[in-house]
Structure 1
Amino acid sequence: MPGPSIVVGIDFGTTFSGVAWALEGSIDDIEVLTSWPGAGNRTSVKVPSTIIYNGEDIQWGYQIGPLSEACRGIKLLLDEDQEPSYAYAPSLASKALLEKHGKNAV
């Protein structure tokens, strides 16, 4: 007999993202993730929407330093039919980085 379903909500933002979950039928008891890898003792409802590929080592969010060669703004690359936003240069740089690693945002 299966247990209760877990409902997960993901706010995938251009610069920061968040995650929350609840058991089905328990709408008043929503849990928001506040602990993230690389954040140390700091808690936050959001984590940077960044990822970096170092060979087989993949780091994301707070694991990444501000000056690293990370993919940023990848949300803007998810719709392949849209032209890249020239107003947000990090997404253009991220497209080139993803291609360098043989990956794409989708």
Structure 2
Amino acid sequence: MAQGPSIVVGVDFGTTFSGVAWAFKESAGEIEVLSTWPGGGNRTSVKVPSTISGEARTASWGYQVGPFMDALRGIKLILDEEQETMYSPSLCSKKLLAILDKDAV
């Protein structure tokens, strides 16, 4: 049975913004970087906010998350429970996760 093309995906999961790129394994030099995002309107950017919210009973993420929505922000810094952070958005996210009885992983 013949196999189809292989795709390699790279994710830059940042504290405040994240990005995604992909390429066919056979054409690794031709990298496609995502630059349009849900909720971004006409904006093009290689990065999208690293935020997620379930406030409206449907998951919203990135540019879909409004500035005043209850959302997880700075989540990267609380993935390792043994690592302390003083970054305010991460601390707020940690409290929100505790209220929801969830963890960051």
Identity of aligned residues (%): 64
Distance in 2 between residues matched to 1:103 and 1:34, nearest whole Å: 31
Q: So what's the TM-score if we normalise by structure 1?
A: 0.90
1:89 — aligned with what?
A: 88
Q: Is the 8 A contact 2:55 2:69 kept in 1?
A: no
Report the alpha carbon displacement of residue 12 of structure 1 after superposing the two structures with TM: 0.2
C-alpha change, 1:54 and 1:69, in structure 2 (3 Å) is closer
Deviations 1:59-89 (A, max 9, x none): 1100011222211100001112222x11x11
RMSD, matched Cα: 1.2
**Stretches of structure 2 lacking an aligned partner (at least 5 in a row):** none
1:101 — aligned with what?
A: 100
Distance in 1 between residues matched to 2:81 and 2:51, nearest whole Å: 19
Report the alpha carbon displacement of residue 35 of structure 1 after superposing the two structures with TM: 1.0
Report the alpha carbon displacement of residue 31 of structure 1 after superposing the two structures with TM: 0.3
Q: So what's the TM-score if we normalise by structure 2?
A: 0.91
Report the alpha carbon displacement of residue 37 of structure 1 after superposing the two structures with TM: 0.6
Displaced runs of 4 or more, over 3 A? none
**Stretches of structure 1 lacking an aligned partner (at least 5 in a row):** none
Distance in 1 between residues matched to 2:76 and 2:58, nearest whole Å: 22
